[in-house]
Chains A and B, each alone.
Chain A
Amino acid sequence: MNIKISALQFTREVKSGSISAEDFIAKTMEQIQNIDDNLHAFLSINDKAVDQAREIDKKIKSGGKIGQCFGMPISIKDNICIKDTKTTCASKMLENFIAPYDATVITKLKQQDAIFVGKVNLDEFAMGLSTEFSAYGPSKNPWNTDYVPGGSSGGSAVSVSAFECVASLGSDTGGSVRNPASFCSTVGYKPTYGLVSRYGLISYANSIEQIGPLTRTVEDAAFMLNLIAGLDSNDNTTVDNNNEDYLKDINSGIEGKKIGIIKEMIGEGIDPSVLSATKDAISKLEGLGATCEEVSLDMVKYSVAAYYIITATEAGSNLARYDNLRYGYDFSVEGFEFNSYIEKARKKFGSEVTRRMILGGFVPSAGHAGRYFLKALKVKSKLLRQINDAFKKFDLLISPTVPILPFKIGEKINDPVTLFLIDINTVTANLTGKPAISIPYAISNGLPIGIQLIANSMNDKLLLQAAYALEKTVKLPEVPI
């Protein structure tokens, strides 16, 4: 049994009867058992997965109505709620939080007969880009286990890359889906803000983050979007996509499309191998009939600073509820005093969350908002104006997903500012709400490089068509596991 197949191929084979869901899930669970001690993608495993697959096989045999996933094994980032399942956010604070409800994306996937093989690792509360800030230890890059898998949805990328599932859902606040996808050589896609319901996603920076799929192919990403997108009464920020079919016409090609190369994302600090991969991708796109031209978005210079100020502000508010009365509970009421009680609970947060909470208490405070938070909002709106102007001229924008190659575990953990700067190419799509995708493009010294495409809001279909066209030009070696 070959488990190294795409999600769509899986559904076709189960549908045709050439494989059974049970066999495939059993094999997948075996794979997890065999390699996850080393890779540490998973925080918890669904021990009923094989039984669930057997039920689906029965349903197929009896000719019952069957969902589009046919028992497809999916991993879920551990900041998305599955009913009656631990949802820890890779934090000690939520060590014992069992979600009493399903996130909307989970409800939708359940309706389509998906099987959740387990919850996967992330940086604590999705704050980070290496999974090194997980309270339960880092995940490792399947391409080289000395290296980080990227983050924060590192567990998602590892599990897809190492065949521990066929697809995964992550969340992307500043690149958290695209960054690990780039580092682990998978597709990582952040849809337009509002296209996918966030209900059941534990908020970090709610005004800019979005749930998105990590998959083996662009087609799979489009398939996943078909399953999870759409208006949701539980999330007031969702938009109606009129049941768009993102798979239909995915092979339309990009002939005649205009693509802008974001100048600020291929300049200073870029790794030479990343730059040459980007240039190669540009020439491939031109070969497919697109015209490419440099475009400047000078607000990108300030985007990372603005991003960290805005996300810290929202995190400071979103995580305020973890206060020892309700989470991180400590039974001792000895010498009870409310503030010291909260302080006690806060000790359950790791260093990165603590850093951002302190920042989040400072940058929007009355005496400092003018210098930090309000300025960050100005950068955000100027950046939006600039990118909207760019989309008057271009259909798509292109850049490397991450300016550098994956780095070693432990290499940058004590250098938060350098870590922050790695987000430079990904945060723009979050700050402006635009859809963006990272596709595996090259391998340099055994380490993956991803290329990012960005489209205008609600042009997700065009984005997927272009990504599909570019993907078809690439032939990459298999992951060495």
Chain B
Amino acid sequence: MTKIGLEIHSQLTKLESKLFCSCKANYREFEPNTNICPICIGLPGSLPRLNQKAVEKATMIAMALNCSTPEKIAFFRKNYFYPDLPKNFQITQLNLYGNTSVGGTGILMVGEKKIRITRIQLEEDPGRLIYEGSSEKNLVTLVDYNRAGTPLVEIVTEPDFENPREVREFLNILSNLLENLDVSDPSLEGAMRADANVSIEGGNKVEIKNIGSFHDLEKAIHFEITRQQSLHSRDIPIIQETRHWDDKRKITVSSRSKEEDLDYRYFLEGDIPWVKIGNEVKEKLKSEMPESISSKKQRYISKYNIPAQVADVLSSDKFYSDLFEDAHTKENAKEVANIITTDLMGLVDTREKRESSKLKPSHLQEIADSIQSNKITRNSAKNALYEIVKTGKKLSDLISELDLGNVSDESELLQIIESVILEEPQAVEQAKSNLLTINYLVGKVMQKTKGKADPKLTLDLLKKKIQ
């Protein structure tokens, strides 16, 4: 049986400041080495100043993943030399003296499958190394410390996955969960990273590092399973090792450095006293926690009678569910859900499109109400939505500007129908013998009205005219 475990790193991108100083947690918009201070570049004499909000958010994640949460937590120093690490040690967590990291064992369900969480810890992200020229033969390595000290949560799972598909599903669920908790924006580049370990029946565990994206993670796991199986089939032993993902060649390569032998000389970080997280704090955090995705989904189904599949899509994406929550009323809920899941999704399917979108919940409300009151057709709504996302204009303005208003005036519609009947004598004959083909004529009317004709009225009038 194949066993796969994950080690996921997620930045707490929604926090204002870094883990130990007041520099911005959102380092991405800065010129290199301008989002830094004596603390995050570890100048002599500086001391870490723990961001309590980070502890709270990390604890929230632990609770959302059904992890045990200790009474008090501690930080440790992980000592190793690397140019991206300003102090040459990383402040992280470790369960050295009992459970002292923000989260102990927990569970996340992937469909019917239980994935066990080993632990969750809070730590600082190092800086970034930028290699000039090719990564093999470069003369200069540049260091950017803007990222150094960004709050990072490490989530470690048990080897409970059996194939890459389960890994993908888990990561989707986890990334939706983190976004829903409003702690992280996983769509930001580098905000969520994962390493994997893979073993097959009869072989040792192999760790894969340096995987750039979730897409590559799946490929790397695939590759690794195939590699191990082919070794196994030829009776070549699978050794325990760390392998690096080679992004260019799309294969895993054995690391020459013996990472297993690294000795991090862990010890307690004396500059940060133990942090108590008592029941009061936990209760407070629980009350502040956003509604879970599954509870949202249940509510959408039971309260608004929204189909399960629609409710699923709507609840698992925070962007959509936030829109829905703000736009819907008891009367239009189903309509709003429909607009979001059928028409809007294609318009805002990337991070960039979402950011530039001018759509407000009030727009959705207006559109839904206008459809329900027959002011515009679904088709017109779609056209309006496209404009609104681009310009943010009011629906009422767009209706006149783009002439989207329903043609529901009988005499106007009758004129159009009559001209269609004249133009399509063959289709009229067909419809007379087989009423089902009348839809062709309805379509023609729609064409002439640019989709604005009230479909029900059109059908009624057509039927009358033909019979």
Contacts and interface: CB of A to CB of B under 8 A. Distances in A.
B50 interface: yes
A321 B83 contact: no
Given A237-B270, A326-B86, A338-B81, A361 B43 contact: no
Contacts of B131: none
B267 A364 contact: yes
A234 interface: yes
Contacts, number: 97
A206 B265 contact: no
B466 interface: no
Contacts of B89: 317, 320
A367 B271 CA distance: 26
A235 interface: yes
A81 B44 CA distance: 8
A99 interface: yes
Interface in A184-228: 198-203, 206-208
Contact of A317 (B49, B79, B83, B263): B79
A237 B265 contact: no
Nearest to B79: A317
Nearest to B38: A101
A94 B44 contact: yes
A233 interface: yes
Contacts of B42: 321
Contacts of A373: 267
Contacts of A103: 45
B45 A317 contact: no
Contact residues on A (Cβ < 8 Å of other chain), bracket: 35 or more
Contact of A198 (B47, B87, B263, B272): B47
A313 B50 CA distance: 23
Contacts of B77: 317
B133 to A, nearest CB: 14
A9 interface: no
Interface in A357-394: 361, 364-367, 369, 373
Nearest to B82: A338
Given A313-B265, A342-B81, A237 B271 contact: yes
A392 B465 CA distance: 106
A333 B140 CA distance: 10
A173 to B, nearest CB: 12
A323 B88 contact: yes
A263 to B, nearest CB: 30
A326 B263 CA distance: 23
B265 A317 contact: yes
B79 A206 contact: no
A164 to B, nearest CB: 24
A236 B47 contact: yes
B36 to A, nearest CB: 11
B419 interface: no
A347 B43 CA distance: 20
A429 to B, nearest CB: 16
A201 B48 CA distance: 13
Given A316-B265, A317-B265, A234 B79 contact: no
A140 B455 CA distance: 102
A234 B44 contact: no
A466 to B, nearest CB: 29
A299 interface: no
Contact of A320 (B38, B45, B88, B139): B88
A316 B45 CA distance: 15
Contacts of B46: 199-200
A313 B265 CA distance: 9
Contacts of A17: none
Given A103-B45, A236-B49, A323 B81 contact: yes
Contacts of A80: 45
B271 A206 contact: yes
Given A206-B270, A320-B81, A233 B263 contact: no
B307 interface: no
Interface in A57-98: 80-81, 87, 89, 94, 97
B237 interface: no
A367 B261 CA distance: 11
A5 interface: no
B45 A202 contact: yes
A323 B77 CA distance: 18
Interface string A322-354: 010111000001000011001000000000000
A123 interface: no
Contacts of A316: 79, 265
Nearest to A100: B38
A77 B286 CA distance: 49
A202 B273 CA distance: 19
A207 B83 contact: no
A124 interface: no
Interface in B253-273: 263, 265-268, 270-273
A361 B265 contact: yes
A320 B42 CA distance: 11
Given A81-B44, A323-B81, A323-B88, A234 B49 contact: yes
B18 to A, nearest CB: 14
A87 B263 contact: no
A88 to B, nearest CB: 10
A19 B83 CA distance: 55
Contacts of A201: 45
Nearest to B262: A366
A314 interface: yes
A354 to B, nearest CB: 16
Contacts of A326: 86
Contact of B44 (A202, A233, A367): A202
Contacts of B38: 100-101
B263 A365 contact: yes
Given A206-B270, A342-B81, A199 B47 contact: yes
B437 to A, nearest CB: 78
Contacts of B86: 321, 326
A157 to B, nearest CB: 22
Interface string B2-41: 0000000000000000000000000000000000001000
A203 B265 CA distance: 18
The list of the 10 closest CB pairs from A to B, nearest first, reads: A207-B270, A320-B88, A202-B44, A200-B45, A81-B45, A364-B265, A366-B263, A202-B45, A321-B87, A206-B270
14 contacts: A87-B44, A94-B44, A99-B43, A207-B268, A207-B270, A233-B49, A236-B48, A236-B273, A237-B272, A316-B265, A317-B267, A321-B44, A338-B83, A364-B267
Interface of B: 38, 42-50, 77, 79, 81, 83, 86-89, 139, 143, 263, 265-268, 270-273
Given A199-B46, A199-B47, A339-B81, 6 more contacts: A89-B44, A99-B45, A235-B49, A236-B272, A325-B83, A342-B81
